[in-house]
Amino acid sequence: LTLSDDSMIQFCKAGLDAMLGEGVDYLFCNQEEAQVWCGTDDLETVRQSLRKLAKMVYMTRGPEGSEILTTEHSWHIPAEKVRAIDTNGAGDMFAGAFLYAITRGYAPNLAAALGNQAAATVVSQHGNRLTLGQLSAIKAYALPPLK
């Protein structure tokens, strides 16, 4: 599940809450969406609240990278330094790249690293689509061969 957008949270929180139910496997959000959902800017409070919603939470933080949160652990996955031109689609690109890697057997931190790299590439250009060449280069850079 993704928290999707600040306006979705503001206008559809009851529906999102119903979808969350007793929790989900994966929850994707960016920092701003997480803060709106939790009603606070305090990141530690946000992290503690999000941990209760899913087995694994992936919070993207723009130039700060992303965080993986579970009930027991948290990991910070650094971002590539890029000049952001158009951030439209960055969260979807992160989630798609993450899901690509996780369904192929990569560990969550490597899947998040691929997500960061794919999102960094997409925000560095106008438009939210990547070419097959860009995708191949991202995979080669961010994912080691599986054994």
* pLDDT tens string 111-126: 999 999 999 999 999 9
Separation of alpha carbons 10 and 37, rounded Å:
8
Q: Catalytic residue positions?
A: 92
| pLDDT band at 143; cut points 50, 70, 90 | confident
Q: What is the mean pLDDT of residues 24-39?
A: 96
Query: Could you write out the three-class secondary structure of 61-119?
Result: CHHHCEEEECCCCEEEECCCCCCCCCCCCHHHHHHHHHHHHHCCCCCHHHHHHHHHHHH
- What pLDDT is stored for residue 100 in this prediction? 94
